[in-house]
Copies of this chain bind each other. A is one copy, B any other.
Amino acid sequence: MDYKFSDRIASLQPSAIREILKATASPEVIPFAAGNPAPEAFPVDAVREIGANILMHKATQALQYGITEGYAPLREFVLKYMAQKHKVGKADDDIIITSGATQVMDITSKSFLNEGDTVICENPSFIGSLNCFRSYNAKLVGVEVEKDGMNMEKLEEVLKKEKKAKFIYTIPNFQNPSGATMSLEKRKKMYELACKYDVLILEDNPYGDLRVEGKYIPSIKSFDTDGRVIYAGSFSKILAPGIRVGLAIANKKIISKLTVAKQTADTHTPMFSQMLVYQWLNEYDFEGHIRKIQDIYRNKLELMCSLIDSELGDFVSYHKPQGGLFVWCELPEKVDMLEFVRVAVENKVAVVPGSAFMVDEKEKTQCIRLNFSTPTDEKIKQGMKILGQVKKQF
């Protein structure tokens, strides 16, 4: 049979970049291309205790259908915590528990995007979210990310022009892949522009708790008096990604539509995962655990940056991020970036070519993304040494 796939999915063809990345799945390859948390960052003992407790005392509830909005104690806890700690969530706001933050992008797209509507994205941005927007046949318009976040003049130009813009997609903290953190001024300006041009902001904050230096900056959602910011959070980076628990906090009317969209997508997020997160938040020192993770990642980031300096020296330029999982390195103009990535993979070091994150994959970029959370310290040292060798061929 000759399959007639939808236009939206046909547009997500495997690209040359993804073909390069396929070669990186092998275990002997050093994984600077991944985005997995360090296994030592998982609170394994707590999970064992909580898991045993749920299965002993609440097995039936963990096995039965739940409601689409999510496990009520978890929703209440997170809503209260986010309001008190981060000023995220006002009286008119509500929360939905999702199957990872990825699902926030999916159900927000389903709820707001007609075909051909525009999503304004940081350029570069997280490929998973870009592909999600593409899968709704949205038009993606990229705005350059600077060291302190999106260029606001360019954002306003785009907003003036794009009459069908529905939302601005931003990762304000330790952006994936650029590592950039948006300044307070730019966050305020983005909110002001969203009000002026009457669009929503989809604020994706998976890495917010992974700050390892610099000063806390409040999220855009904390200024939101209009109900125009949809805040996406995740437990993937602070607890564990394999449980797939994320959340959205937004105006009640929006949450009610996201709930309808989630109902058509997966009915609800698994009960065991939700109950696990709730008990962890409620009964364990999760803030202490977050500090522990920050220490792990601070050390790994320092290690990687010192090795970038010693092994790659003037060959690359980068801004050291204040947190997150990635360092975004720019190669010299004369180097063929894709060729550099290919040779690195050939030498068993997987890095992601920057073009994977461009709103238009054909757009030129000299950057590569290096992840420091997945490899062990030993592997970071080995991998950076190899990249130092690869450099000499260019």
> A: which residues have CB within 8 A of B?
1, 3-9, 12, 35-37, 39, 42, 44, 47-48, 51-52, 55-56, 59-66, 98-100, 102-103, 105-106, 110-115, 117, 128, 131-132, 134-135, 166, 198, 200, 226-228, 236, 239-244, 251, 253-254, 257, 260-261, 263-273
Residues on the B chain within 8 Å of A273, using CB: 270, 272-273
A59-B42, A128-B264, A270-B244 are contacts. A1–B99 as well, Cβ < 8 Å?
Answer: no
Given the known inter-chain contacts A55-B52, A63-B44, please indicate yes or no for A135 contacting B9, CB distance below 8 A: no
- Chain B residues within 8 Å of A105, by CB: 264
Known: A128-B264, A243-B63. A9 touches B257 (CB 8 A): yes
Docked complex Cα distance between A98 and B270 (Å): 12
Q: Are A48 and B55 in contact (CB under 8 A)?
A: yes
Chain B residues with Cβ under 8 A from A100's Cβ? 266-267
- Contact residues in B for A12 (Cβ distance below 8 Å): 260, 264
Instruction: Tell me the complex Cα distance, A211–B253, Å.
Output: 42
Complex Cα–Cα for A93 and B126 (A): 32
20 residue pairs of the A-B complex, CB under 8 angstroms, read A1-B198, A1-B251, A3-B251, A3-B253, A5-B111, A5-B257, A9-B111, A39-B60, A42-B59, A42-B60, A51-B51, A64-B242, A65-B241, A65-B242, A98-B266, A103-B265, A131-B260, A135-B261, A244-B270, A270-B272
Q: Give CA–CA (A49, B267) in the complex, Å.
A: 27
Give Cα A362 to B64, complex, Å.
32
For residue A271, which residues in chain B have a CB less than 8 angstroms away from its CB? Answer: 242-243
B113 touches A264 (CB 8 A): no
Task: Give every chain B residue within 8 A of A260 (Cβ-Cβ).
Answer: 9, 12, 131
Whether A59 lies near B64 (C-beta < 8 A) is no
Nearest B-chain residue to A130, judged by Cβ: B264
Q: How far is the CB of A233 from chain B (nearest CB, A)?
A: 15
In this complex, which of A63, A114, A117 has the most chain B Cβ atoms within 10 angstroms of its Cβ? Answer: A63
**What 7 A-B pairs are tightest by C-beta distance, nearest first?**
A63-B240, A242-B271, A99-B266, A132-B264, A135-B264, A51-B55, A63-B242
Chain B neighbourhood of A7, CB < 8 A: 114
Residue pair B42, A103 in contact (C-beta under 8 Å): no
From the candidates B8, B36, B48, name the one contacting A56 in the complex (CB within 8 A).
B48
A105 to B265, CA, bound (A): 8
Q: Which of B9, B241, B244, B272 has a CB less than 8 Å from the CB of A269?
A: B244
| Bound-complex Cα distance A117 to B6 (A) | 10
Complex Cα–Cα for A1 and B201 (A): 12
Tell me if B5 and A112 are in contact (CB < 8 A). Answer: yes
